[in-house]
Amino acid sequence: MSENSFTEEVTARAADSGANASARFQERQAKAAGGVVDHERVALLAGKAVKALNDLVLEEQVTYEEYNAFKAWLIKVGEDGEWPLFLDVWLEHSVEEVANQDREGSKGTIEGPYYLEGSPELPWNGTIPMRPDEPGTPFVFKGQVTSTDGAPLPGAKLELWHADNLGFYSQFAPGLPEWNLRGTFVADDEGRYEIHTIRPAPYQIPTEGACGQLIEAAGWHAWRPAHMHFKVHAPEHQLITSQLYFPGDPHNEDDIASAVKPELMLDPQPNPDEEGEITVYDFVLDPAR
């Protein structure tokens, strides 16, 4: 494959991610029960948001040129399907902070735009779906799920999803098998799991969409550090949504999505039993409220 066709392929794939994320979010939201925010909260929150923007215009003496550039950009965010990407990168971390402030168990962090329900169910020591020649360092991820009182949680489920070795997520970038690098692992009768996967690559916000345009116009960087996403659940316990990170990634310090926490850092070691690396991480779930 020539260098050019590789670049084109990557660009074409990146362009699809935003549109897919919007469609998937709308499907899930349509199925979600409730979804109606009451009048008083709408009046309060929309009122404060509008006031904050008006204050900004007056404080910073915003011009018509800037106002129209903003309007054009907002239209493009929708056209590119990048509202999920924009919101999850620049706002979700605060929503997560509020949602999980009273938890005693494992730290959560943002879900991001690329979660899918219903990934293939696998045993406690299964291998995540991947291509036969899946590029990347083989990676074993093991540990135990317990309750905040220390009791093991048998049959806990760990949903894992992560990018491939080029930073692409299945079903959001074309050309990947449907459930590539997505799986639901059922812990054993002591809440233990030993998941076999590969190390994901860092993730770059697609450069050609509205979010990429904003990043370039502001002179920011477009990177999230390499990460693995999780949802961990067990009966009578609160679901936790989180991500885990790899030490030494240059973007652990300046994640564009502000979602890295010191408690979420892995400690990968050479695997003594097979090629690749191994790491241990235990999850602690809060009892249901």
Pick the stretch among 43-51, 77-85, 109-117, 194-202 that binds Fe ion (CB under 5 A). 109-117
Exactly one of 224, 233, 237, 251 binds ligand MBD (CB under 6 A); that residue is 224
Q: Which residue's CB is nearer to Fe ion, number 100 or number 204?
A: 204
Q: What's the Cα-to-Cα distance from 98 to each of 15, 90, 137, 285, rounded to whole Å?
A: 32, 15, 36, 17
φ/ψ (deg, to 5) at 155: 70, 10
Q: Least Å distance between CB 79 and Fe ion?
A: 23
Residues in 179-198 that interact with Fe ion by CB under 5 A: none
Decide: 171 and 177 in contact? Cβ < 8 Å.
Answer: no
Q: Which residue's CB is nearer to ligand MBD, number 187 or number 244?
A: 244
Task: Mention every residue, 6+ apart, whose C-beta is less than 8 A from residue 260.
Answer: 109, 225, 245, 252, 253
Exactly one of 77, 89, 153, 228 binds ligand MBD (CB under 6 A); that residue is 89
Binding of residue 203 to ligand MBD (CB under 6 A): yes
Site string for ligand MBD, 107-126 (x = CB under 6 A): ---x-xxx------------
Number of residues that bind ligand MBD (CB under 6 A): 11
* Residue keyed to tokens 């925010």: 37
Exactly one of 18, 108, 112, 129 binds Fe ion (CB under 5 A); that residue is 112
Pick the stretch among 56-64, 111-119, 246-254, 275-283 that binds Fe ion (CB under 5 A). 111-119
CA 82/CA 283 separation, integer angstroms: 32
* Residue keyed to tokens 């959560």: 108
Binding of residue 225 to Fe ion (CB under 5 A): no
Decide: 130 and 162 in contact? Cβ < 8 Å.
Answer: no
Residue 109, exposed/middle/buried by CB under 10 A (0-12, 13-18, 19+)? Answer: buried
Exactly one of 88, 96, 164, 277 binds ligand MBD (CB under 6 A); that residue is 88
Token pair of 79 as six digits: 């056209």
Q: Least Å distance between CB 169 and ligand MBD?
A: 7
Cα dihedral 195→126→149→239 (10° resolution): 90
Binding site for ligand MBD (CB under 6 A): 85, 88-89, 110, 112-114, 203, 224, 257, 259
